[in-house]
Chain A
Amino acid sequence: MNRHLLTAVLLSGLVVLLVVATEALGVRVFDRIATNLCVSLVLVIGLQIFMGNSGILSFAHIGFMGVGAYVSALLTIPAQMKGMALPDLYPILQGIQVSPYLAIALAGVAAAVVAAVMSYPLMRLSDAAAVITSFALLVVLHTVMTNWSNVTNGPRTLFGVPKATDLLLAAGVAVAAIVGAVAFKESRTGLLLRASRDDEVAAAALGAHIPHLRWRAFIVAAFFAGVGGALWGHFVTSFSPNAFYLHQTFVILGMLVIGGANTVTGAVVGAFLVTGAFESLRSVEARLNDLKLFNDQVVGLTEIVLALAMIAVLILRPGGLFPSREIGAVLARAFANKKKGAA
């Protein structure tokens, strides 16, 4: 079997396994965790599409997640709810109500369009300047989300988003994201982009139009961020702009870095590992708070552990757990070596 196909199948298999195991156990808490994990997968894989192929760290990703969540919410909150949830909404938008599934797709498109318009000039930049401007983009998006009260309810919580995301939908989208990311990586754009990541000057000399290539990857990444945000919005049903800021960025980035930013396998493995660790630490935190050992609530322990894990991984294994080869390639190579040994 083709090794790229093998990668896509194996990684999707992992998601299917998660769904089957969760359904078989039938515990509600696990259902929630598994759905969250699938949404994170969509986001991490989206980020991998840009970061892994272009080698540029992007902070703006979670901003596009927010764009997706708000667009989908606007399109789906029932008309009678809108009067309460968004009192200052523009009259044109008041009557609109589409099916959540259509809205999730449209949210992805909206995020991609916003990304396409805003980011083209930024793609010329590399290294630190690129990172700082993507950070600036995140702040711009956050400022707009916090202050455009007419459509986002300002810094307050937006409620009344219909519940539409279940485990199956989230898992389905995650599988689509995996297949999309592997396909993008092996496409002409993906290959050229990775060439520019490894040597910008050489790739440009060979005729790669680097800003344009990065732009394409950025748009695809924003699409998945928008879809992920919409899925998340229809899962939690109420959220505020602060959900789409540095904390979420840190978590998603942590998943990608620990797994390995250069491979889709790394993104998937990182999402599984970090979600698992996060949920266990959260329950430890909750347990500690229940025991009332300390005067104040125990907060921030989870983040401290994740931060330490990120630093440790970057020092000991800078490329993450899967630094350069996808799982399919690793297995194909092992299999080929075995054959050679036997012959």
Chain B
Amino acid sequence: MTFALQFLIDVLSLGGAYALMALGLVIVYGILRLVNFAYGELIMVTGYALFLAGGTGLPWLVMAAMAILVAVATGILTEYVAFRPVRAKSVTAVLITSFAFSTLLQNAALLFISPRPRNVPLPPIFSQTVEIAGVVTPMRNLLTIAAAAILLAVFAFLMRRTVLGVAMRAAASNFTMARMLGVPANLVITSAFAISGLLAGVVGILWIGRIGTVVPGIGMEPLLVAFIATVIGGMRSLSGAVLGGFLLAFIDTTLNYTLAQDLLKFRDAFTFGLVILILLWRPQGLLKGPATGQRT
């Protein structure tokens, strides 16, 4: 029983973070059919914003909010620099610009801040532990579960009940048609990037809360996680991304508990091997999104 609860908390907290990461990637992919390689750098930027804000002496929540705002701004900047100028061109071109933009941001962090890890300010709640029914678990895991639950609920409401959400979903299923019916294309795309930045910002703070420091390469792991989760769940479906996130967390946690120590270091290879197998079985991912329409 204790073990089951422990396992459940592990899966839910890891899955919550993974689901948010995947959602941030898919919201852009769904509308533009473009993979944002610079997504991981949004998390890096959040970390450095928090690090830089650390000197100001403001309350932590204000600093965190500022860091998330910086992530949103960077998300929008990504759209203006790497996507808008090449949007109408080939898929490969946009993939490469976003890859280049990601390298650009990483190296800017190297050049202007430092290659060495930097400590970010964190409130004590991130290092506390609590005991629930005999299971000792870090507070931050419960925070992650709560944040994921709230954000997923808000996001679901936004996408289903608001004009913007409906417009975004319309754009995702048929961009040209949506445009003809009066959906402002640029606004929808910019909002998608802003939401992506918001999700990345929140995940960034939770993610960095686990480690406590930020380095230029920190975005790599979240990016990979988001990739795998979206591929498993379905590149075109928002609920698929969430499902993929939780499924990946389940797989990772199971491997953590069952793999022998000397095989555990190959965990990433196993997970990615599994992705390849899932794609063989269902090239569209587990959940199919709306029928593909034309981009731009």
Contacts and interface: CB of A to CB of B under 8 A. Distances in A.
19 contacts: A51-B92, A57-B92, A132-B227, A132-B230, A133-B276, A133-B279, A135-B224, A136-B231, A140-B272, A143-B272, A144-B266, A253-B96, A298-B111, A301-B111, A303-B104, A303-B107, A304-B111, A310-B100, A311-B81
B35 A299 contact: no
A310 B111 contact: no
B172 to A, nearest CB: 14
Contacts of B29: 128
B103 A303 contact: yes
Interface string A117-146: 000011011011101110111011001100
Contacts of A128: 29, 33-35, 91, 95, 235
A310 B86 CA distance: 12
A301 B108 CA distance: 8
Given A135-B227, A250-B103, A318 B90 contact: yes
Contacts, number: 128
Interface string B175-186: 000000000000
Nearest to A131: B95
A307 B101 contact: yes
Interface string A249-267: 0100110010001000000
B35 A318 contact: no
Contact of A132 (B34, B93, B103, B231): B231
A121 B280 CA distance: 6
B268 A139 contact: yes
B89 interface: yes
B275 interface: yes
Contact of A304 (B108, B220, B279): B108
Nearest to B277: A121
Could you say which of A140, A144, A299 has the most chain B C-beta atoms within 10 Å of its C-beta? A140
Interface in A267-308: 296, 298-301, 303-304, 306-308
- Closest 10 pairs (CB-CB, A-B): A300-B107, A300-B110, A307-B104, A310-B100, A303-B107, A315-B85, A307-B100, A300-B111, A136-B272, A143-B269
A299 B95 CA distance: 25
Nearest to A121: B280
A55 interface: yes
A137 B81 CA distance: 28
A147 interface: yes
Contacts of A135: 224, 227
Contacts of B104: 303-304, 307-308, 311
B111 A318 contact: no
A137 B231 CA distance: 14
Contacts of B123: none
A314 interface: yes
Contacts of A257: 96
A205 B287 CA distance: 28
Contacts of B97: 310-311, 314-315
Could you say which of A51, A125, A314 has the most chain B C-beta atoms within 10 Å of its C-beta? A314
Interface string A96-131: 000000000000000000000000011011011101
A136 B276 contact: yes
Interface of B: 29, 33-35, 81-82, 85-86, 89-93, 95-97, 99-101, 103-104, 106-108, 110-111, 114-115, 220, 224, 227-228, 230-231, 235, 265-266, 268-269, 272-273, 275-276, 279-280, 283
A298 B97 CA distance: 24
A204 to B, nearest CB: 15
A315 B276 contact: no
Contacts of A308: 100, 104
A310 B96 contact: yes
Nearest to A124: B283
Given A139-B224, A147-B266, A121 B86 contact: no
A125 B35 CA distance: 15
Given A254-B100, A261-B92, A314-B100, 7 more contacts: A51-B92, A121-B279, A125-B283, A131-B95, A299-B107, A311-B100, A314-B97
Given A253-B96, A296-B114, A307-B100, A136 B266 contact: no
A323 B106 CA distance: 29
A343 B227 CA distance: 60
Given A135-B227, A299-B110, A311-B101, A122 B272 contact: no
Nearest to A127: B91
A93 B295 CA distance: 53
A267 B231 CA distance: 31
Contacts of B115: 299
A144 B269 contact: yes
A226 B92 CA distance: 24
A55 B92 contact: yes
A174 B107 CA distance: 31
Nearest to A247: B103
